[in-house]
Amino acid sequence: MINLSAVSHRSTGSFCYALDNDTVVLNLKTDYDVEQVTVVSEDPFHHELYRRKEWEGKPKAMRRLFELEKHIVWTAQIKPKYKRLQYYFIIEAQGERYCVFENKICPESERERISTEFFKFPWINPADVISPPKWVRNTVWYQIFPDRFSRASDFVNSGRFREWGDFSNPGYNDLYGGSLKGIAERLPYIKELGISGIYLTPIFLSNSNHKYNIFDYKTVDPDFGTNKDFKRLVDTAHDLDIRVMIDAVFNHCGTQFFAWKDVCEKGRESKYYDWFFINSDDFNSENYSTADGRFYSFSFWAGMPKLNTNNPEVQDYFSDLCVSWARDYGVDGIRFDVGDEISHAFIRRINSAVKAVNPEIFMLGEIWFDSIGWLNGYEYDSVMNYPFTGAVGDFWHDESMSARDFMHRLNFCRALYPRQVNEVLFSFLDTHDTSRVRETCANDDVLLQKLSILLTMAGSPCIYYGTEIAMRGKRTPYNRSCMPWYEIKSGKHDDFKAKVSALIKMRNGLPQTKQDEMEFVFDENHPRLLTYRKKNVTVYINAGSKPVVITKSGEDVFSNLFADGVLYKDGVLIEERRDE
């Protein structure tokens, strides 16, 4: 008996979407008991073209796309001649055949006697095809926390800054003097790693070191430099073929933002009163928490009042701001902090405005979960791929997980979105919001294994500054420590950094690694041996406790701890077969 309750499809999201201007992708989810799936499709008006009473479609066998823990995802691509598509599915197992319609699932023998509703893809409108900027899939990012990355060569300590690298008893408000000019001076280092994009956490006026409570969105914080320094940084990066993405904090502002100051002064009489969510006339108290509900703020912090992004005036203000960033500074990407709490209307407004200035600008949302509702072609181009980060972390945290278990977790991530979104998902192992990934690794080789996965997956991978030298740090502020430039200059980290750079350059040189198509291979004798193929590239990662003998079939592009045909625990081999 087929488990019909496991069968699911909707003619939207990752189940049904236009891959390009000619192709519709259809995906169906079933239990493992289903042996074969057929999609029956045709133009919804096809029967009228031939003066027939009943609509009939053409059958096409679907193939297995993803194997999940409890489900199989089946797929087919169809090129509808007239851009429209009507369809249903036939699922088969053990001699049983069922038809899957929008309104019901029924035995094929009963199809004629009951009312059915077909699935429909109404029309392939080019404007509706999800089309992220193509350059993003070829970009390897490097995230920088400006205060901790690099001081400028002409830095003079005014007394406000701690000694560089001194993290004895660090405070949440400590400043170390990193700047935009300092970043610009280190761009050759970043370029040499193989990086092609930098992502900066907020750089605008604020009284914090992280700058997520912005006072003035139009002025670079003097701690980091000037607006001219910002422009010079972008121009210098572009000269080196490095893209620049900045952080947009539009869910909330700081308490010195002009609109909030006006509201605090005038109350309900302020013309900016509706720019916020204020629920009490005595909202302006000294209480650091807003758990009393007097106004809404980010994570109950009174120092970060929440902006009303439903308000057209708020939308206009920040839309004009983003246009200025794109037009006047030439930024290539905008990352939207707390991207799930700002309104959809707000995101669509900004998308329309900035894409009119630069159609190739990259809009990235910070969302930590399934984000299909924001990835429709009119809002974000991509989101931060936290499900992937969790999948990689759990595999090394739980040694009872097998390579097949990891595949299921990874395929869950891949099944969430259309293929063109998967190709630009912002994937990472750590950020300023998490513990450094090295803290979750038994040794540097495990870190290298995780980086090998990151850099051989579809998406737009990001390296957090210092991960290339295995920097450590569990919680804030330790995960935001100063880049140890003296150690780097001394050569202390040369060996590990060279391996990370080789991985990045391998990815840049092998387009196969950037594609979403992949095939896993399993070894019953080595359940924690990860082996997956992407065309003629094969990745071997031994996360088990026993050495594994690998027979090389060609010249390996990159290897670590690989000798005499044995892949030791914590070893990596990435091999390109030259004969294919």
366 tagged catalytic: yes
Give 116 or 294, the one with higher predicted confidence.
294
Q: Which tokens belong to 569?
A: 């625990």
- In the chain, where are the structural domains located? 4-128, 135-249+307-513, 252-306, 517-576
135-249+307-513 and 252-306: identical CATH topology: no
Q: Which tokens belong to 192?
A: 């040499």
The runs of H, that is alpha helices, within 246-340 are 258-266, 312-324
CATH 1.10.3720.10 fits 517-576, yes or no: no
CATH superfamily of 252-306: Oligo-1,6-glucosidase; Domain 2 (3.90.400.10)
Q: What is the pLDDT of residues 471-508, one digit of tens each?
A: 999 989 999 999 999 999 999 999 999 999 999 999 99
Q: Is 1 a residue whose pLDDT tops 80?
A: yes
* pLDDT of amino acid 577: 76
Burial of 452 (0-12, 13-18, 19+ CB in 10 A): buried
E strands of 346-455, at which residues? 362-365, 382-383, 426-428
Architecture in CATH for domain 135-249+307-513: Alpha-Beta Barrel (3.20)
Local confidence band at 561 (pLDDT 50, 70, 90 cut-offs): very low
Q: Is 358 a residue whose pLDDT tops 50?
A: yes
Averaged pLDDT, 153-169: 94
Residue tagged active-site, from 147, 223, 247, 337 = 337
Residue tagged active-site, from 366, 381, 423, 468 = 366
- Are the C-beta atoms of residues 105 and 89 closer than 8 Å to each other? no
Q: What is the pLDDT of residues 415-465, one digit of tens each?
A: 999 999 999 999 999 999 999 999 999 999 999 999 999 999 999 999 999
Mean pLDDT, the chain, integer? 94
- How far is 60 from 23, CA to CA, in rounded Å? 14
Local confidence band at 171 (pLDDT 50, 70, 90 cut-offs): confident
64-73, 256-265, 488-497, 542-551, range with the lowest pLDDT: 542-551
Q: What is the pLDDT of residues 184-243, one digit of tens each?
A: 999 999 999 999 999 999 999 999 999 999 999 999 999 999 999 999 999 999 999 999
Q: Is 560 a residue whose pLDDT tops 60?
A: no
234, 243, 330, 509 from 239: Cα distances, Å: 9, 10, 12, 21
Q: How much of the chain exceeds pLDDT 70, in percent?
A: 96
Q: What is the pLDDT of residues 25-51, one digit of tens each?
A: 999 999 999 999 999 999 999 888 877
67 tagged catalytic: no
* pLDDT of amino acid 579: 57
Architecture in CATH for domain 4-128: Sandwich (2.60)
> Is residue 297 classed as helix, strand or coil in its secondary structure?
strand
- How far is 498 from 370, CA to CA, in rounded Å? 35
- How far is 125 from 10, CA to CA, in rounded Å? 19
Local confidence band at 578 (pLDDT 50, 70, 90 cut-offs): low
* pLDDT of amino acid 31: 98
Q: What is the pLDDT of residues 123-158, one digit of tens each?
A: 999 999 999 999 999 999 999 999 999 999 999 998
Long-range contact set of residues 339-343: C-beta below 8 Å, sequence gap at least 24: 339/251, 339/364, 339/365, 339/366, 339/367, 339/374, 339/380, 339/383, 340/365, 340/366, 340/367, 340/368, 340/369, 340/371, 340/374, 341/251, 341/306, 342/250, 342/251, 342/307, 342/309, 343/309, 343/310
Q: What's the pTM value of the predicted model, to 2 decimals?
A: 0.95
Local confidence band at 571 (pLDDT 50, 70, 90 cut-offs): confident
